[in-house]
Chain A
Amino acid sequence: LAKTTQPISMDSYEGQEVNITCSHNNIATNDYITWYQQFPSQGPRFIIQGYKTKVTNEVASLFIPADRKSSTLSLPRVSLSDTAVYYCLVVGGRRALTFGSGTRLQVQP
């Protein structure tokens, strides 16, 4: 299983763009990069998934360089409600998810 490394915590202010980078040096050819968000007292929620280059949805963008050894989750113009823990996961053929430590994002007013 590819291990992921991401910052333990980040601070931001409302309206700013937040970029959370994750490294996954031993990612396999068939693996996808997936991000989940978890609010206190809730289960994790899928945000975005990508294989390479850039993926964008209504919530976030995901940037993956050509070597796929890292990825960056970009949250545009964060608000207080974006305060949560963000998990970067590498998902392959095994459907069960392996969670790393996650990044605790605190958005200040």
Chain B
Amino acid sequence: SAVISQKPSRDICQRGTSLTIQCQVDSQVTMMFWYRQQPGQSLTLIATANQGSEATYESGFVIDKFPISRPNLTFSTLTVSNMSPEDSSIYLCSVDLAGDDEQYFGPGTRLTVT
């Protein structure tokens, strides 16, 4: 299993600013994922972040808006850039332990953009 923490747990930001969300895992993992969950909605994958390579973004998400860093096997950051109220969501990271059947999710970061 894996224990995942995210910082901050929540934040209120002004439009036009940027916020960096941190994801820390208690074990080394190859694959990490970033998801967005808008209020009352399901989860949508933003990107896959593998250590040592560029993040792979899903359709509708671009690196300029959501730059991701993956400096080592236990840590990743997602930045939400030039925020607008439409970016108000919960952002979650998850990890895939090689050989395990399940993914483990962080508690999420609740972002409100005013």
Contacts and interface: CB of A to CB of B under 8 A. Distances in A.
Interface in B55-114: 92, 94, 96, 101-108, 110
A63 interface: no
A19 B73 CA distance: 39
A45 to B, nearest CB: 7
Nearest to B30: A95
The prevalent SS among residues of B at the interface is: strand
Contact of B105 (A41, A44, A95): A44
A99 B33 contact: no
A46 interface: yes
A100 interface: yes
B45 A98 contact: yes
A96 B108 contact: no
Given A43-B94, A43-B108, A99 B43 contact: yes
A91 B75 CA distance: 25
A45 B4 CA distance: 12
B108 A46 contact: no
B40 to A, nearest CB: 10
A97 B14 CA distance: 31
A49 B101 contact: yes
Interface in B30-50: 31, 33, 35, 42-45, 48
Interface of A: 32, 34, 41-46, 49, 87, 95-102
Interface of B: 4, 31, 33, 35, 42-45, 48, 92, 94, 96, 101-108, 110
Given A34-B102, A87-B42, A96-B48, 6 more contacts: A42-B108, A46-B103, A46-B104, A95-B48, A96-B33, A96-B45
